[in-house]
Amino acid sequence: FIVAVLLLSLFFVAGVRGFLGLIFLVVGLLFSFSSITSYCPLYKTSKLPIDYDLKNIINNKSLKKHY
């Protein structure tokens, strides 16, 4: 959330414009949305095997069962 506030303040307050400003705006909004809702739309579009079971991640079983 802190990074989102920093990026958005660079766009709105510091006046960073152009392509870099657009990137700051989009990434800042994405980080804000992810921080507030605890949902990141990039996880769904990346099709990465997300396994929250720490034992499976450590033993690398999560990758074996998905691939």
Instruction: Give pTM, 2 decimals.
Output: 0.60
Q: Tokens for 18, please give them.
A: 């152009």
Q: Which domain holds residue 30?
A: 1-64
For the chain, the domain total comes to 1
pLDDT-above-70 percentage for the chain: 66
The DSSP string of 1-67 is: -HHHHHHHHHHHTS---HHHHHHHHHHHHHHHHHHHHS--HHHHHHT------HHHHHTTHHHHHH-
What is the distance, to the nearest Å, from the Cα of residue 20 to the centroid of all Cα atoms in its chain? 18
The per-residue pLDDT for range 5-48, each reduced to its tens digit, is 998 898 888 888 899 889 989 999 998 988 888 777 777 676 66
